[in-house]
Chains A and B, each alone.
Chain A
Amino acid sequence: MPDVEPNAGDATLRTMEKRRAKLIGQYCLYGLLLAPALMALCARARADGGLMLLHQMDGPFVVTVFAAPNPPRVGPIDISVLAQYRADGRAALNAEVIVRLRREGGMTVVGRATREASRTKLLYSALMNLPEAGQWELEVTIEQRESAARALGQMSVAAPRPFLLSYWRSLSLPWVVVTLFAVNQWLKRRAASRARQNT
């Protein structure tokens, strides 16, 4: 062990305190960085309006149905429903909303739409997985105490997007980084050769 000077303990203590303060600061920063990653893991696909499919009046309600993505494609589709009272246009907040999608062949996909699943909390959303492209019949039923409404319509579902288009951002990342790295190296070399010329 190296020799210890007198009063070195105070200095060590100060260094430790300083280091601890620095560590706490670092933890806060790491927390800031970690938060979005955790949020990403907890994130849920939520409906957010999109293409307006239906706008109908039935019973005491005015029913508007949206679908996202626009156009709807095979795979998960957000169906969002806005139920408004016909009398005053207020949004109905405590209704039971069921969405049914029927294919001509008889296949039916059913989902309960909730406000919790929606980003726009006035809307009721359901995430439905549609396996086939083509024309689907859409039926939305809304029930609230004694009142009920039903909206019917059609939804055209397109084929899924090629995955290269769907994930182009993630897939292009290596190209972007490699290009930036190449430019970085080129700039470094150029700066070095200039420095050599100057000297």
Chain B
Amino acid sequence: MNPIAETIFRSWKPGYETLAVLLLTCALYLRGWGRLRRVRPREFGVARLASFLSGIAAILLAIDSPLDAFAGLLLTAHMVQHLLLLMIAPPLILHGAPYLPILRGLPTSVLKHGAGPFLASPGLQWFGRKLTYPPVCWLAFIIVSLTWHAPKFYELALRSPFWHGVEHICFLGAALLFWWPVVQPCPSRARWPRWAMIPYLFLADFQNTALAAFLIFYDRVVYPSYAAAPRLLNLSPLEDQVAAGAVMWVPGSVAYLIPMGLLTLQALSSRRAVSSSNLRAELPVIQPQNASTPFPAGHPEGWDLLSVPIIGAALRRPRFRRAVQWAMIALALIVIADGLFGHQMGSMNLAGTLPWTHWRGLVVISLLAAGNFFCMACPFTLARDLGRRWLPARWHWPKRLRSKWLAAALLAIYLWAYEAFSLWDSPWWTAWIVIGYFVAPFVIDGLFRGASFCKYVCPIGQFNFVQSLVSPLEVKISNADICRACATYDCIRGNDTQRGCELGLFQPKKSGNLDCTFCLDCVHACPHQNVGVIGVTPGSQLTHDRYRSALGRLSQRMDVAALVLLLVFGAFVNAAGMIGPVAALERLLQQRLGLESLLPVTSALFVLALLVAPLLLVVACGVICRALCGGAISWKELTCSFAIALAPLGFSMWLAHLAYHFITGASVVIPVAQRAANDLGISLLGQPNWPNTPALPLLDWLPSLQILLLDGGLLSTLYVCWRVARRLSARAAGALSLLAPWAGLAALLYAAGVWIVFQPMEMRGLTRETPGAQACPMSSRTPEMRH
């Protein structure tokens, strides 16, 4: 192939936002089509599927192919792109009858509770009827087509990627409306006789022909941008314009003539018309208000990770867990060795990168994507087991300490030490923390029974427990009936071969991931194989206040609420500690107070931000809430219930912060590992080449991703707050009053999170400064660069 042509064909540009929307649509359609095909194979045949997918492919071809890449240089390419969006994709999509399959593809609860009220709304139904009235469809199409071809608007679209996108959305939307009465997608009903579509199409073709003729016969270049653009194919701007007009005229007219011919044949064939009407009569017209009722129930049983081939089999084997723990122990030993004896600059030491950049990032990502899998692979379990073997392990954990207060205090101390002593930049201290982490479980679980360390002490465990409240997987029973018939309770008591849950979680009454280490002891112990790692709606366990095994009711657990609040505010404080304005404030205060060290300032600010401010804010919210509900509910119950609802927002901030470090600093482990290996005299990994470490691109999409994560956290928190408020108040107005102060607090935290995201951060551990690809403060990155 000609190299130029080959280069042109390689100019695909995957716009991931468009692709995400199209793939989601396809996934929903496929799911719904599969379900409908089982009950109505004739109406939802392969042809419909092929038609729909072809339509989506036509959109992709228009938007992501070289057509779009060259649309700014060649009017002909731009015109072909428009032709695909106006004439090809819409009729194909509508012929796929997307309405029912897409609705059927939605999860039942989303269809029933989310889309249902909208579909059932008389106002929206009226609007839909008016919108699909043929004259309205025709006018919308003509107006959109003519407006966007006017030089002023066309130039606007050429200059701005945003307006180019708007133009495409307008074209696609108007074309879907235009083709709606022509294709009459199932299950809609014709508003006009079928023959009326012939003049409908003819008049549209007339407009198309007139516009094409204007482009062909006009003796000047209509769009100035093309006059100035470099000529790629030896076509002058005027020749390009004529070619574009020809594309619009000939294939454009054919796109109208084919359906006109088919409609004429259909009108002439009475038999076909009858069969068509019969087909339509056979189909139930799905009234939107009943959209959920004709469908069978969804999947009553949850999706179980243990049923997945390979992964499930591996998780079921206790040896697998042991192997992963050994791997983690090996990594921990490497971190300790390099931290104690290696280079003492954090970004050049494995103790400065692996725990703080990689491990933390991977933990939060796995919590988001799956669940508390770090506790499953915890390397400190070995120390616990050794402690139990070598020490008496016969005492019970003191009753006064059987709460989360101790763990919360340790967590606060850890967060303070992180800020005050810059732990991330001190490999030596990091190594000692890891050593301390081996010693503590050895001593505690060596002296006390059960998993006292995990349940009452471990700060990492508490972090994972709280964050996994919004994870999509939960260790839980599959079938409650089997548990009702069970008399042995092996899941908690254990049996001859397998111990039961060390944290005292009784599976039938367990709810949520709090206190669950994903050790899967209960899975191995259950003789009925009734415990699995089941998929759940993230955060759904936060909305109810039923009794939870080993925890009781969370609305009565002030210690759990305090732990959650500490982690929520800790997320924002931890991220804020890494930004320029906070560092500047610390220096200013140090100067004003004439202090030699930053430690007092950092400590004071930390106490203020992590303890005093949350206390004041939460107490204020609780008091306002109680006043609004007329004192009917206790302050403690209100505060505990709503405080736990803030967990998703806190998690989103941890995720935005730690995933940022992981994404931007992941590659730094290569030279650091090379350096560590060379220090040991191992040259197998090669020499570290610090300046030539592969440069990461400017991650202009990262702030958008961070804001989206915060958006998700805020929305989840608001939803959980709403559900809690509805639980506490029977009336909607009362629930809104209860919600208001907590929603305000959530909005305040969200605003703080967004502000933090846009501040210049310390790009610790990054060695990617190369010409033309310098790291820049996040505030200077703009999303429009992507277009």
Contact = CB atoms under 8 A, between A and B. Distances in A.
B394 interface: no
A32 B160 contact: no
A34 to B, nearest CB: 9
A115 B10 CA distance: 11
B7 A2 contact: no
Contact of B772 (A49, A74, A127, A163): A127
B449 interface: no
A14 interface: no
B707 A75 contact: no
Contacts of B718: 174, 178
Interface in B250-283: none
A126 interface: yes
A13 interface: no
A88 B4 CA distance: 13
A26 interface: yes
Contacts of A126: 772
Interface string B92-111: 00000000000000000000
A109 B27 contact: no
A33 B711 CA distance: 19
A121 B7 contact: yes
A56 to B, nearest CB: 11
A126 B14 CA distance: 19
Interface residues of A, number: 77
Contacts of A183: 118
Contacts of B776: 75-76, 129, 131
Interface string A52-96: 100100000010100011100111111000101000111101000
A128 B772 contact: yes
A152 interface: no
Contacts of A19: 307
A89 B234 contact: yes
Contacts of B772: 99, 109-112, 126-129
Given A119-B69, A187-B118, A187-B121, A160 B779 contact: yes
A2 B485 contact: yes
The listed residue with most B CB atoms (<10 A of its CB), out of A46, A90, A115, A166, is A166
Nearest to A126: B772
Contacts of A45: 697-701, 785-786
B398 interface: no
A192 B419 CA distance: 53
Interface in A179-196: 181, 183-185, 187-189, 191
Contacts of B714: 174
A40 interface: yes
A40 B704 CA distance: 11
Contacts of A8: none
A55 B230 CA distance: 8
B30 interface: yes
A163 B20 contact: no
A51 B232 CA distance: 17
A120 B69 contact: yes
Given A45-B697, A160-B780, A170-B704, A36 B23 contact: yes
Interface string B16-33: 100110011011001100
Given A45-B785, A160-B779, A177-B715, A40 B485 contact: no
A72 to B, nearest CB: 10
B44 to A, nearest CB: 16
Contacts of A127: 697-698, 772-773, 785
B635 to A, nearest CB: 27
Contacts of B527: 1
Contacts of A25: 31, 34
B326 interface: no
B129 interface: no
A46 B228 contact: no
A169 B711 contact: no
Contacts of B23: 32-33, 35-36
B598 to A, nearest CB: 28
B14 A39 contact: yes
Nearest to B309: A20
Nearest to B233: A89
B724 to A, nearest CB: 15
B479 to A, nearest CB: 10
B117 A111 contact: no
Nearest to B528: A1
Contacts of B70: 120
A170 B758 contact: no
B307 A23 contact: yes
Given A93-B4, A122-B232, A40 B16 contact: yes
Interface in B69-95: 69-70, 72-73
Interface string B755-787: 000100000000000011111100111111111
Nearest to A187: B117
B3 A129 contact: no
B20 to A, nearest CB: 3
Contacts of B13: 46, 48, 119
A36 B16 contact: yes
A119 B11 contact: yes
Which 10 interchain pairs have the tightest Cβ spacing?
A111-B772, A36-B20, A75-B780, A187-B117, A170-B707, A119-B13, A120-B69, A44-B697, A121-B11, A64-B230
Given A36-B24, A48-B161, A76-B781, 8 more contacts: A1-B528, A19-B307, A36-B19, A49-B73, A173-B711, A174-B715, A187-B118, A191-B117
5 contacts: A1-B527, A76-B776, A122-B232, A127-B785, A187-B121
Interface of A: 1-2, 19, 23, 25-26, 29, 32-33, 35-37, 39-41, 43-46, 48-49, 51-52, 55, 62, 64, 68-70, 73-78, 82, 84, 88-91, 93, 99, 109-112, 115, 119-122, 126-129, 131, 160-161, 163, 166-167, 169-171, 173-174, 177-178, 181, 183-185, 187-189, 191
